[in-house]
Amino acid sequence: MKEFFEVLQKGVSISIQDNGRNGFRHLGIPVSGAMDKLAYQIGNLLIGNKLNAASIEIAIGGTVLKALNQFSIIITGGNLKPAINGKLVEMNKIIDIAKGEILTFNGGNTGVYSYISVPDGITSECHFESQSSYESASLGLIVKKGTIIYGSSPSYKLVKYGLKHKYIPVYPRHNLVHFIKSSHFEKIPNHIKSQILSEPLTIGTFNRMGMYLSSKNANLEPFDSNILSEGTTFGTIQVLPTGQPIILLADSQTTGGYASIGTVIYSDLWKLVQMQRGTTIQLIPVEINEASHLNKKLHLFLKHLQIECRNKER
């Protein structure tokens, strides 16, 4: 192993994330994993890693890291104004960081989550077949001030290139977010659904477990949303007894006792999690076939990017 970073300041949030703990929800273990899987996978592709290699996830800003060796990195996702020794660095491009240099994330220009990917991925504790940090249950490496983050020394030479401008994800202040209706959809009163679906919803407080939404133009009305607990997932849209909608995210519980409107489709999750507080989304119901089409488009984009990266390495 090789020492990569010392955490001088944790900031709002820093964790190690990969694709998550898939296959353990029946045991009550959240999947966790990268919040924005698109940005996380782009970083791994560009630096020559497997798609599931562990990366460092930074949220919002305030994180300060000291490089303990010289190595290459790429920073993808939300633009949190990353800087080395006070000088802003280019994102979505492989860069070198020297021993002793200080990498800082100063707060969001656009987006919420940034990813630092390194050759061969981060080396850290693995629990339930994943390195993902899940602080509530002390799973994976729990990063705090003074933590040393390790990696390995790749045996191959990196080809230094970046992501083409046309492929760089955009994080606007308003987004359409598609979802598939749940079995409760028709049972939720029409006036509640109308308030939630007919106008933009404002992003409120959020963390890796969930995101609160509010209505700008109407007072959400309470209703009896309690149900027998049932399975939930990353993207489940629940309605609280107050009438307020919340969307469960990567670290969410595995079951829930509130009625749900539906589940955000996989290909829109990356857009959702990068919405800053105070920005807005419009929830749009879609049928299974359209959701499958949109998910396939995202998969084909990553496949195309993977092919381009391989061609550049030749």
Q: Where does 174-294 sit in CATH, by number?
A: 2.40.100.10
Pull the structure tokens for residue 146.
């003074």
Q: According to the model, what pLDDT value does residue 143 have?
A: 97
Domain map (residue ranges) of the chain? 2-167, 174-294
Q: What digits encode the pLDDT tens for the residues 154-202? A: 666 676 778 989 999 999 999 999 999 999 999 898 988 988 999 899 9
pTM, two decimals, is 0.95
pLDDT at 302 over 60: yes
Q: What digits encode the pLDDT tens for the residues 121-143? A: 999 999 999 999 999 999 999 99
Which residues partner with 176 through β-bridges? 282
Instruction: Decide: 77 and 113 in contact? Cβ < 8 Å.
Output: yes
